Structure 1
Amino acid sequence: MGTRYLESLFNPSSIVVVGASERADNLGGMVLRNLLGGSYPGQMLVINQNGYESVHGVPCVSRVSKMEFSPELAIVCTPPDTVPKVVRRLGRAGVRTAMVMTGGMSRAHSRTGQPLMYSVGEAARETGIRVLGPNTIGLMVPARSLNATYAHMGALPGKVAFVGQSGSVASSVIDWAFARGVGFSYFLTLGDSMDIDHDDLIDYLAQDSQTRAILLHIENIPNPRRFMSAVRVASRTKPVIAVKSGRVPESEWFRHELPAGLNRSDPIYDAMLQRAGVLRVDGLGQMFDALETLTRMRPLKRESLAIMANGVGPGVLAVDRLAALGGELATLSEQSIDALADILPPYWTRKNPIDLNYDASPDLYAKAIRILAKDPEVSNVLIMYAPSLTEDSLQIADAVVQAVKGTRLNVFTCWLGQSTVMDARDEFYRAGVPSFFSPEKAVMAFMQHVNHQRVQRLLGETPESFIDHFADHSNTRRIIVNAKRQGRNHLSNHEARDILNDYAINTVPTVYCDDVEEVLEAFAVERRPIDVALMHQRACHPFMEYQTGQGRYRSTVHGLTNESDIIDACRELMEDYQKHFPDSGFLGFAVQRSYKHIDGIAFSVGITRDPLFGPLVVCGAAGAQISVMTDRQIALPPLNMVLAREVLRRTYMSRLLQEFSTEPERDIRAICEVLITLSQIVIDQPEIRGLEISPLLFDRDSTLAVDVAIDLADRPGIPIIQPYPRELEEWIVLPKSGRRVIIRPVLAEDEPAHRAFHEHQSPESIRYRFFQFRKHFSREDVAQMVQIDYDREMVFIANAPREDGEGEETLGTVRVWTDADNLRCEFAVMVHDKMKGEGLGVALMQKMIDYCRSRGTMEMVGNVLPENRPMLQLAEHLGFRIHYNREEEVMDLKLVLNEPEKDWQRERLARAHH
């Protein structure tokens, strides 16, 4: 839905409370008392059908039609069966936003039998009013003296936004935050979120300068694609920390229909949040611990940790926790060790963690910090103190604060205990130094910081080039179309192998036999050990063993070396099949040569489809280990080499591969290439519902798919991350030189060519594009230019083969950033200096104008320096209106692409023009 009217929700100049009375237990009355108690400065009104003159001193009318003005925000606290009608009347009366606090609407039903909360959503869509809830605790904006909730206490003003789903969880968060001194820019819950949802609020908060971090409590995500787009934008500019409740099926409030091959939905949320750059934590305590380090510590230059304490025990506890969380200890330099040896007892261990001894003084703490500050191997330091008779905890805390000032170190502390160290913790809080109650909590908070930077790096990684985006897979299309025509929702084993071969995934050569006699004939030709598998209709579906639970069913016999063993094996396979799958049609036997592979390392990889999250790529252990170890990791397509390596890293089998493979790097790359190829199959062939390769083995050269099964869906699957839009590719011929150029969307793999393009531009061209001189573009700078979300922005590049024949070069680029409501897009364009006069700028701009117009964007805008005459002439040629902006000293450009159809669109555009 976007950010339409959300300003009226967060900053209303007037409020009406519907259903408020002066009864102590009246919900609307509670909200009204909180509004008055918070000194809300705007105009207020109450609607109560009893027609009171006033409620708690606020004027009251009996119905919506008697309002003398149209409030910006309505707070609805009437009985469930009245709410849809009230919301509809408010919308028709011109009220822009409403908060429905009434609960129980998911259990109360309308005459049609659907829960009443859906009727609220229909009323919102019919009248255009934006609705928060039903069943929301309400909204707090402390900086604007707005407490429109029924919460037991108000929130402190601050720079953190909290968006929750549960009112009771939110109440505890307010208490928790107050005790820690954490303030909020915005605080609200979604409730049943029939209209306003996470993605709408994240879009608003991403643009809000008063919000430096976003905390999310998530129970479900109704629109994963919009959520993903919104949160990827937000997490690039400010930390986003999320708690997702309902980790196991027993705790899910909304039951999740599981895709084939998975027994829990939680790993899907894990994969989605990580891909979006969100730090996921396990609970509210971890949320605030992570907030402490993310907002009070600098970005980490290293991920290792140095630890010092006045005793061995605290340091050991911290090291244990660090190791359990996959962290690493910093290695002290020889210079640091020698310097510390001069001030520590002779029995000091000469390594990290550093034991300062129980009688460590404030001066000793300060000297140790200054030594570590000079060590190039140390960036992060956990400083701990256990209460002692000899020293004062507050004096040591003050010494630490003073010693840390001006250093490059990231320092956080843990003052153990409770009654005698509270003043010291307050001292750290005032100094902006994170402090924790226990070594375990301190180390966990540090590792949250590490994990956040890891997911941020994944968000901005530029991958190696691997996929051929221009390959022809017409044979695969023929196979799928033929199966659909025959009314089949699965492919035969032979067809599935043909598809893998079409995508260059190696498969074991297979001979298909109708009976035992043909199996013996195949063995006579092979004259070496063979494997025999029995095929039947159920086995043509992927994840069949996982779905049926037939773990003891034997489908393949390996290493057969003589005819009698083959006959016995075929008989046993047939008996097993008839016992477990009597209703599944027999399809014959498959014969393969027995292959030697790295013993014990067998992967299961594939594609499955979630009803909500769309296609997923899965990777983990093959065979019984899938269930026993739950070693099945999930990734969201599309993938690249970096993302494939990350999902592989999370599997147990990858550790075995590292340990036992003779060439682990080669084998890791090989399996990553398979995962990337699977993600490309998802995009190219959206009719494929499931694909399983199990096992995927390693031979001398690469991976080898032993068995494969593919089934089909009635409808195409759509990834929640928009893949590369190949349909937008276009070849043109430049009129002056006759050079053939492709104009296409940018790919992350274009980073090297994109960087070279910028670095070979003249200083004047760089200044015209970036409004300043820039001599250098870092890899991170260019990665952000090419790593885009096609749902929110678009970059077209003009590429052509290099004149020296060495690959491609980028000749020009145009990009747009589009707002969350698709009203306005801002463009920037640059053409290589050597291509001036070729008409490439016109071609790029026209391509982008046509694209934005087709998406329904209303306006395209841009800024140009007054002396940039070529760009101004191009804009005039394309029909832009040009106006000099005296305040910014630039030329404002505007092109109308589509006419607004709704009042809110016209209002927002008019406000933008002023």
Structure 2
Amino acid sequence: MTIRNLDALFQPGSIALVGASRRAGSLGAVLARNLFAGGFQGPIMPVHPNSDAIEGVLAYPSVEALPQTPDLAVIATPPDSVAGLLKAFGDRGTRAAVVITAGFGEGGDGAGAARKQAILDAAQPNLLRIVGPNCLGMMVPGLGINASFSHIAPLPGDLAFVTQSGAMVTAMLDWATPRGIGFSKIVSLGDKADVDFGDLLDYLAMDGRTRAILLYVESIAHARKFLSAARIAARNKPVIVVKGGRHAEGAAAAASHTGALAGADAVYDAVFARAGLLRVYSLNELFDAAETLTNLSVQRRRADGGGRLAILTNGGGLGVLATDALIDEGGRLAALSPETKQALDACLPATWSGANPVDIIGDAPGARYRAALEALLKEPSADAVLVMHCPTAIASATEAAEAVVETLAARAGRVRPVFTAWVGDQAVGEARALFAREGIAGYDTPEEAVQGFMHLERYRRNQALLLRVPRPEPEGEEPDRPAVRGLLDQALAEQREWLSEAEAKAVLQAYGIPVVATRVVADPEAAGAAAAEIGGPVALKILSRDITHKSDMGGVALDLQGAAAVTEAAEAMNRRIAAAAPTALLEGFTVQAMCRRPDAEELILGVVDDPQFGPVMLFGQGGTAVEVIADKALALPPLDTVLAEAMMAETRVYRLLQGYRDRPPAAVDEIAACLVRLSQLIIDMPEIGEVDINPLLADAEGVIALDARVRVTPRGLSTTGAPAAATARLAIRPYPRELERSFALPDGTAVFLRPLRPSDAPALRETFRRLDAEDVRMRFLMPLDEISDDLLARLTQLDYDREMALAAFAPSGGGQGDNGQADKGQEGLGVVRLAADPDNRKAEFAIVVRSDMKRRGLGRALMKAILDYAEARGTGQVWGSVLAGNTAMLALCKEFGFSLVHAEAGVVHVTRDLAAVPE
């Protein structure tokens, strides 16, 4: 379940309260006082077996005795009574409940866990939704609902706050209320037995009363559900998150470099970034970021920001502080162009700073602020402007603020983000109030203003990845999946946890990741012979499934020349390891030619299984000191080239890969390709639990893996007893290869049908261009000359759990390319889309067929394909909107059993029931 019946939680017509008390200071008394004093306009009905009235309101002895069915029940009774109450409310028709009571398995208590299951069993037959248990409650200030035991009542507003911790609600209200910050909804989730973050993100994403969503997260139980909901919500409004428990221990005994580096908090960073959320680290930051991202002046931001700030100030010291803060936060000063400097020279005193920060001197009047700001707003290298003021005896802070307001008003809709910091107290109060009234981002200090700018930059970067349009993937050979499957099956049959080095490299090679040739030998003499055959210097490594880090045990020797040296080194290696690890099984040695790449950077690529989010990918600076350097970035699969390069760009080593001094740039495209191929390996082979490629050498010539480790683990069965789906462990559903198929139209035209990919954006645009004007109007219900980049991204960035678009292509050159993609030369013929609601009860469909492909049976084939898909995923009803003049589509809908209902404005609503609504 997701948003089913959540309307009863947030918009109830009536409320029942069970567990109220007359005892002063008790939880029940506070709960009753808050609920009755909140101003809710509907009936509030107390249930109490021994009291005639609570807070002066008539009480009823039981749920059955209530005069009407409440939409929402609030329960604060002993834990053993809660399941029975939920059953009684559900039988009456109540659709939502807030369970304040604790005692449902917190801390691993067995009896409590049984109670938790009991309340879920009691609620499920009637689809009654539960917030809690063990929560502070929930509030809807705009409706006067305060179903909580908070000591502070919230102000109404347009920020939603969802928290796992009840204490965070009271702390947040204590901070926000004196500052006049109001809320649309506040929910304390508690133990999240039923309603969780994913459910509320789905609901709040479409809530017109909520401008931004604030989250306090400690853990996430349903990774894929959370990510799907968060990505959809983040496309509609800012979602800002504080994560508690950032410093959890647990990686100290990791078996690989990747395992040691992929700490839990770093994984959450990757999750939030992939979902398009902005992560902050304190309550102050949470509200500052919310105000920044929803501010009118910031909403006019450009889409191509790069962290470059222009600073305008009347005090040099403020400029220095702002610059320091900017560099600390990872931003940079915008370089002023000659044209901007010329404009500033013309309007500023000769003593102005002559550079960014632009110091316009302490006596600057409003006119000087206006002229300087106008010049900086035209600076092409600036992504935003920070305007600052410190009070002086000879210049008015209010006059300067008015100049900023007037300048921005004159350029309404054509201005980049502007931040202000009027520093001081009494002298700047009127100016700050003016900025607040006009929707201009205002801060008390330079550091806070810079932080606001960097919040915007990080949010913009995450949003750009959420709506990315990657370039088409290069053509290449399909991975040798059978070869890899054979290696994994053999290791599992032998109950081996780790593949040998040679096997691990064979796995990588099968997926197109270049590896250095490696020979496996049984003894020192064979190692010497292999070195003689290879010729030149070689690397010798011990082969043992029991040794995790070979170099730590003296199991690696480099730059060995000749058979005798290799044989002697191998014998010495055997003696060292026998002494250091006498129980280790020594299986022989690997011998490989030394790879001479003096200008190469050592990188690490890896994958590790996170207990909450499944496979997580790692990229960073490699080598033996990888944990000490700790220069890494994490990301969730699946990856494409855009995501891979964005992941790489988070590291310090990425700057080295761009080239420096006499060292040419490395082949960044090939590194990104390795990450994409590694991502595909993890998607295809669920038995692979961990991968460590260290080092991967990268220079201008390309990339090559010198060492690799692969851990395998048997995967269990699904609840039906069948093998678990290969992609079930992934937090983001990958491209569904199983939906690819080929068929022929009645006239013999070959068609390759597959799910749409982000890299299909250019093909989709070309398909649109080959629609005539009338077909465009019929499909989009309005005239449309061109698909905007934003719309194109939204049409191709699919969450395959919620949306599906099947695209028909005319194959050219023989089918798919690398990673199951269509060949580069394929032409788009048409697309059918399906977008389901969060509960999968209803899904909207739409079909577009290229104008020159009409009346050839393609529309019929696309309709059948999407209906088959909808039925297979258990969708209850498929619906669509068709213009009354689109007779061909209406006839097709009738053919497939749709019901047609004529609506206003010449639109026909078509529906087809596929199955009973899932319970």
What amino acid is aligned across from residue 231 of structure 1 in structure 2? Answer: A
Residue 283 of structure 1 and its aligned partner are, at CA, apart by 1.5
Match of 2:459 among 452, 455, 464: 452
Which residue in the other structure is 1:721 paired with? Answer: 732
Which residue in the other structure is 1:793 paired with? Answer: 803
Residue 534 of structure 1 and its aligned partner are, at CA, apart by 0.7
What amino acid is aligned across from residue 277 of structure 1 in structure 2? Answer: G
Q: Residues 664 and 88 of structure 1: is their aligned pair in 2 closer, same or farther, counting only changes over 3 Å?
A: farther
Residue 321 of structure 1 and its aligned partner are, at CA, apart by 1.4
Q: Distance in 1 between matches of 2:361 and 2:378?
A: 22
Q: Residues 465 and 472 of structure 1: is their aligned pair in 2 closer, same or farther, counting only changes over 3 Å?
A: farther
Residue 576 of structure 1 and its aligned partner are, at CA, apart by 3.5
The alignment yields a C-alpha RMSD, in angstroms, of 2.5
Q: Residues 492 and 258 of structure 1: is their aligned pair in 2 closer, same or farther, counting only changes over 3 Å?
A: closer
Q: Distance in 2 between matches of 1:500 and 1:159?
A: 51
Q: Distance in 1 between matches of 2:492 and 2:661?
A: 41
> Could you tell me whether the CA contact under 8 Å between 1:261 and 1:608 is conserved in 2?
no
Which residue in the other structure is 2:875 paired with? Answer: 857
Identity of aligned residues (%): 37
Which residue in the other structure is 1:275 paired with? Answer: 274
Which residue in the other structure is 1:400 paired with? Answer: 404
> Could you tell me whether the CA contact under 8 Å between 2:71 and 2:96 is conserved in 1?
yes
What amino acid is aligned across from residue 908 of structure 2 in structure 1? Answer: M
Given the alignment of the two structures, is residue 867 of structure 1 paired with residue 885 of structure 2, yes or no? yes
Which residue in the other structure is 2:421 paired with? Answer: 414
Q: Distance in 1 between matches of 2:312 and 2:291?
A: 20
TM-score normalized by the length of structure 1:
0.93
TM-score normalized by the length of structure 2:
0.92
> Could you tell me whether the CA contact under 8 Å between 2:659 and 2:665 is conserved in 1?
no
Which residue in the other structure is 1:336 paired with? Answer: 340
Q: Distance in 1 between matches of 2:638 and 2:109?
A: 42
Given the alignment of the two structures, is residue 324 of structure 1 paired with residue 303 of structure 2, yes or no? no
2:427 alignment partner, SS class: coil
Residue 770 of structure 1 and its aligned partner are, at CA, apart by 0.4
> Could you tell me whether the CA contact under 8 Å between 1:243 and 1:281 is conserved in 2?
yes
> Could you tell me whether the CA contact under 8 Å between 2:3 and 2:200 is conserved in 1?
yes
Which residue in the other structure is 2:263 paired with? Answer: 264
Residue 668 of structure 1 and its aligned partner are, at CA, apart by 1.2
> Could you tell me whether the CA contact under 8 Å between 1:159 and 1:184 is conserved in 2?
yes
Of 851-860 and 619-628, more deviation after overlay is shown by: 619-628
Of 645-654 and 859-868, more deviation after overlay is shown by: 645-654
Residue 122 of structure 1 and its aligned partner are, at CA, apart by 4.2
> Could you tell me whether the CA contact under 8 Å between 2:599 and 2:663 is conserved in 1?
no
Match of 1:534 among 517, 533, 542: 542
Residue 368 of structure 1 and its aligned partner are, at CA, apart by 2.0
Q: Distance in 1 between matches of 2:359 and 2:734?
A: 53
Of 751-760 and 407-416, more deviation after overlay is shown by: 407-416
Residue 244 of structure 1 and its aligned partner are, at CA, apart by 0.9
Which residue in the other structure is 1:908 paired with? Answer: none
Given the alignment of the two structures, is residue 900 of structure 1 paired with residue 903 of structure 2, yes or no? no
Given the alignment of the two structures, is residue 428 of structure 1 paired with residue 435 of structure 2, yes or no? yes
Superposition pairs for residues 519-598 of structure 1, below 5 Å? 519-539=527-547, 544-545=548-549, 552-563=552-563, 565-598=565-598
Residue 604 of structure 1 and its aligned partner are, at CA, apart by 1.6
Residue 403 of structure 1 and its aligned partner are, at CA, apart by 2.9
Residue 786 of structure 1 and its aligned partner are, at CA, apart by 1.3
Which residue in the other structure is 1:133 paired with? Answer: 132
Q: Distance in 1 between matches of 2:186 and 2:810?
A: 51
Given the alignment of the two structures, is residue 442 of structure 1 paired with residue 449 of structure 2, yes or no? yes
Q: Distance in 2 between matches of 1:683 and 1:803?
A: 26
Residue 771 of structure 1 and its aligned partner are, at CA, apart by 0.9
Superposition pairs for residues 132-531 of structure 1, below 5 Å? 132-249=131-248, 260-262=259-261, 264-296=263-295, 297-301=298-302, 302-303=305-306, 304-378=308-382, 380-407=384-411, 408-409=414-415, 410-466=417-473, 471-531=479-539
Q: Residues 763 and 173 of structure 1: is their aligned pair in 2 closer, same or farther, counting only changes over 3 Å?
A: same
Which residue in the other structure is 2:818 paired with? Answer: none
Unaligned runs of 5+ residues in structure 2 are 716-725, 815-822
> Could you tell me whether the CA contact under 8 Å between 1:825 and 1:857 is conserved in 2?
yes
Q: Distance in 1 between matches of 2:406 and 2:191?
A: 49
Q: Residues 579 and 118 of structure 1: is their aligned pair in 2 closer, same or farther, counting only changes over 3 Å?
A: farther
Q: Distance in 1 between matches of 2:784 and 2:458?
A: 32
Match of 2:752 among 731, 742, 748: 742
Q: Distance in 2 between matches of 1:824 and 1:438?
A: 50
Q: Distance in 2 between matches of 1:94 and 1:63?
A: 15
Q: Distance in 2 between matches of 1:482 and 1:830?
A: 48
> Could you tell me whether the CA contact under 8 Å between 2:658 and 2:666 is conserved in 1?
no
1:828 alignment partner, SS class: strand
> Could you tell me whether the CA contact under 8 Å between 1:615 and 1:682 is conserved in 2?
yes
Q: Distance in 1 between matches of 2:627 and 2:60?
A: 63
1:350 alignment partner, SS class: coil
Given the alignment of the two structures, is residue 835 of structure 1 paired with residue 853 of structure 2, yes or no? yes
Q: Distance in 2 between matches of 1:471 and 1:810?
A: 25
Match of 2:863 among 824, 845, 858: 845
Q: Distance in 2 between matches of 1:489 and 1:784?
A: 42
Q: Residues 479 and 134 of structure 1: is their aligned pair in 2 closer, same or farther, counting only changes over 3 Å?
A: same
Q: Distance in 2 between matches of 1:234 and 1:415?
A: 34
Residue 565 of structure 1 and its aligned partner are, at CA, apart by 3.8
> Could you tell me whether the CA contact under 8 Å between 1:10 and 1:141 is conserved in 2?
yes
> Could you tell me whether the CA contact under 8 Å between 1:92 and 1:127 is conserved in 2?
yes
Q: Distance in 2 between matches of 1:187 and 1:123?
A: 26
Unaligned runs of 5+ residues in structure 1 are 903-914
Which residue in the other structure is 2:721 paired with? Answer: none
> Could you tell me whether the CA contact under 8 Å between 1:596 and 1:699 is conserved in 2?
no
Match of 1:773 among 783, 788, 799: 783
What amino acid is aligned across from residue 69 of structure 2 in structure 1? Answer: S
> Could you tell me whether the CA contact under 8 Å between 1:108 and 1:115 is conserved in 2?
no
2:59 alignment partner, SS class: strand
Q: Distance in 1 between matches of 2:287 and 2:560?
A: 60
Of 169-178 and 113-122, more deviation after overlay is shown by: 113-122
1:248 alignment partner, SS class: coil
Given the alignment of the two structures, is residue 677 of structure 1 paired with residue 694 of structure 2, yes or no? no
2:7 alignment partner, SS class: helix
Question: What's the CA shift string for 1:123-174, capped at 9, x where partnerless?
Answer: 4335532110112222221221222222222222222211111122112222
Q: Residues 862 and 8 of structure 1: is their aligned pair in 2 closer, same or farther, counting only changes over 3 Å?
A: same
Of 206-215 and 713-722, more deviation after overlay is shown by: 713-722
2:559 alignment partner, SS class: strand
Which residue in the other structure is 1:906 paired with? Answer: none
Of 421-430 and 131-140, more deviation after overlay is shown by: 421-430
Q: Distance in 2 between matches of 1:249 and 1:719?
A: 23
Q: Distance in 2 between matches of 1:205 and 1:756?
A: 35
What amino acid is aligned across from residue 741 of structure 2 in structure 1? Answer: E
Q: Residues 242 and 65 of structure 1: is their aligned pair in 2 closer, same or farther, counting only changes over 3 Å?
A: same
Q: Residues 822 and 665 of structure 1: is their aligned pair in 2 closer, same or farther, counting only changes over 3 Å?
A: farther
Which residue in the other structure is 2:723 paired with? Answer: none
Q: Distance in 2 between matches of 1:682 and 1:329?
A: 41
What amino acid is aligned across from residue 596 of structure 1 in structure 2? Answer: R
Q: Distance in 2 between matches of 1:583 and 1:843?
A: 63
1:187 alignment partner, SS class: strand
Aligned length: 887
2:364 alignment partner, SS class: coil
Which residue in the other structure is 2:908 paired with? Answer: 891
Residue 488 of structure 1 and its aligned partner are, at CA, apart by 3.2
> Could you tell me whether the CA contact under 8 Å between 1:109 and 1:116 is conserved in 2?
no
Residue 815 of structure 1 and its aligned partner are, at CA, apart by 0.3
Residue 241 of structure 1 and its aligned partner are, at CA, apart by 0.8
Residue 109 of structure 1 and its aligned partner are, at CA, apart by 7.8
Q: Distance in 2 between matches of 1:892 and 1:323?
A: 56
